Amino acid sequence: MPHKWTIWAGSPPAVFFPHQRPPRNRTRATRQSAIHGSVPDVLIYVIANTCSFEEYYPQKKKNPGGPRWKPRYLAALLPATDQWVIPVLCTEVNAFGTIPVLVSVEVLQSCFLEDWSSPLGLSNSKRFMAVTQFEERHGKREARRRAMTIRHLLERKGQCLWTIGPNTTVRDAICRNG
């Protein structure tokens, strides 16, 4: 049975699996241990939109005795399109079913229509996937299809608008814009 969490805005950041620092590389041994059911070597940190990473990190620096994990292992989620609640189901499919995992920025970007930029450059965890409530309801294909919007395309492409007035002659317009 997959795990499911709901993070309410306004509540303090919820921490899941704050146990150990993940290894730099997942070796064969760690994969084996995962298969045999030891504690997964990943963790999830979900920050509600009321507490951004920038707000959180200075507090963390002032509190060295606090959580041991490094910022690069954190994942921050912004709210879904029309609600302040962030329903996210994060799972890794492996030999013994599904386990909670760190969600990559790319996955988040593909799951949520909201703009999201990473303060951390979390582009790891390529093996993992996140399943939103939308995906559960409408299927992964539909969710992925919806995620690729024109807004994303424009952001990547950058803005460059070539305009003219209706009374300009064709030649003038083209020469001016060219």
Partner 1 sequence: MPFAEMADKNVGSLLVMDDGKLVGIITERHYARNVVLKGKTSLTTPVKDIMETNVTHVRPEQSVELCMALMTEKRVRHLPVLEGSEVIGIVSIGDLLKFILSKKEADIGQLEHYIQGDGWQPVRK
Where on the chain is the footprint of partner 1 (CB under 8 A)?
22-27, 31, 42, 72-73, 106, 113, 120-127, 145-146, 148-154, 156-157, 159, 161-171, 173-175, 177-178
Measured from the CB atom, is 10 or 26 closer to partner 1?
Answer: 26
What's the min distance (Å) between Cβ of 140 and partner 1?
12
| Helix ranges, 18-104 (H) | 28-35, 53-62
CB of 13 to partner 1, least distance (A): 21
Among residues 62 and 171, whose Cβ is nearest to partner 1? 171
- Measured from the CB atom, the residue of 85 and 174 that comes closer to partner 1 is 174
The rounded distance, in Å, linking the Cα atoms of 116 and 130 is 15
Instruction: Say which amino acid occupies 17.
Output: F
Report the SS3 class of residue 52. Answer: coil
Q: Provide long-range contacts, Cβ within 8 A and 24+ apart, for 20-28.
A: 21/68, 21/69, 21/70, 21/73, 22/73, 22/102
44-47/75-76 β-pairing: parallel
Residue 121 CB, shortest distance to partner 1, in Å, is 5
Cβ 92 to partner 1, closest distance in Å? 10
**Between 12 and 141, whose beta carbon lies closer to partner 1?**
141
> Cα(88)–Cα(80) distance, rounded to whole angstroms?
10
